[in-house]
């Protein structure tokens, strides 16, 4: 009984964080002044139209992926409404494609230089690869590969949440945003992928 309660609490927290951070980009759209990471960008970059398309495309569709993706892990939804599960899955894939491509592009301009850029670039590539792998697996009716890759895909997607947990803690610990941001560019997703690896292994999924 206690285990069931803990699982329900964990699921509620998981959904709350996914939806909450998924809606976070709205602040960027409606803020009157520069907000968040934009304060660390140069005036020249902020005036770059292509970069702006990449930035707002990434945060908007990344947020939509977060909001639509968490429900894909609901067994109740899959069993009661498979059609909705599939449609949400297609929407998630589309959101990842746009958000991921935009993310790979803006990674080259990340605050903090090469270390930060490499961290976010690796994240974007892994996110795109695992999502496409999951999509083509279900098209080939390979359910085990699809489920396993979706775990990895959403672990990468959930980096948006873990980044916002780690960043303020690291900034307080080091007393400097730039050092914290260089670390979080890796810390926001590497532990997520390790967690995903053990989750997939525990489920006995053969992804070879």
User: What is the value of pTM for the model shown?
Assistant: 0.91
Q: Is the pLDDT of residue 1 over 70?
A: no
Q: Read off the pLDDT of residues 120-179 as tens digits, 9 standing for 90 and up.
A: 999 999 999 999 999 999 999 999 999 999 999 999 999 999 999 999 999 999 999 999
Q: In angstroms, rounded to a whole number, what is the distance separating the alpha carbons of residues 167 and 160? A: 11
Give the closest residue to 178 by CA, choosing from 116, 124, 129.
Answer: 116
Q: Looking at residue 76, what is its pLDDT?
A: 80
Question: Confidence class of residue 65 from pLDDT cuts 50, 70 and 90?
Answer: very high
Give me the pLDDT at residue 4, please.
Answer: 60
Q: Sign of torsion, CA 75 76 80 83?
A: negative
Question: Tokens 């999951």 label which residue?
Answer: 134
Instruction: Give the start-to-end residue ranges of the domains of the chain.
Output: 17-202
Q: Are 61 and 17 in contact (CB under 8 A)?
A: no
Poorest-confidence range of 71-75, 108-112, 123-127? 71-75
* Maximal C-alpha separation, the chain: 58
Rounded alpha-carbon distances, angstroms, from residue 179 to 38, 73, 163, 165, 176: 17, 35, 14, 16, 6
For the purposes of burial, counting CB atoms within 10 Å of the CB of 40, is it exposed (0-12), middle (13-18) or buried (19 or more)? middle
Q: What are phi and psi of 91, to 5 degrees?
A: -65, -40
Average pLDDT, stretch 16-42?
86
SS3 of residue 111 by DSSP = coil
Q: What rounded mean pLDDT belongs to the chain? A: 91
Q: Indicate the pLDDT class of residue 26, thresholds 50, 70 and 90.
A: confident
Here the tokens at position 196 are 């995903």
């Amino acid at each position: 009984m206690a285990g069931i309660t803990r699982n329900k609490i964990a699921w509620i927290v998981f959904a709350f964080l996914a939806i909450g951070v998924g809606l976070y980009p709205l602040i960027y759209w409606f803020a009157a002044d520069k907000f968040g990471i934009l304060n660390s960008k140069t005036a020249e970059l902020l005036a770059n139209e292509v970069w702006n398309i990449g930035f707002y495309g990434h945060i908007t569709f990344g947020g939509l992926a977060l909001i639509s993706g968490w429900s894909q892990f609901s067994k109740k939804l899959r069993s009661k409404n498979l059609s909705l599960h599939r449609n949400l899955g297609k929407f998630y894939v589309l959101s990842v494609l746009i958000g991921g491509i935009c993310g790979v592009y803006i990674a080259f301009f990340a605050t903090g230089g090469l270390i930060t850029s490499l961290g976010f670039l690796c994240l974007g590539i892994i996110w795109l690869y695992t999502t496409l792998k999951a999509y083509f697996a279900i098209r080939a009716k390979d359910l085990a590969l699809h489920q396993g890759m979706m775990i990895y895909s959403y672990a990468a997607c959930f980096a948006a949440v873990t980044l916002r947990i780690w960043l303020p803690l690291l900034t307080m610990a080091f007393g400097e945003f730039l050092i914290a941001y260089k670390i979080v560019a890796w810390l926001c997703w590497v532990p997520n992928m390790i967690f995903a690896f053990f989750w997939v292994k525990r489920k006995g999924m053969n992804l070879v």
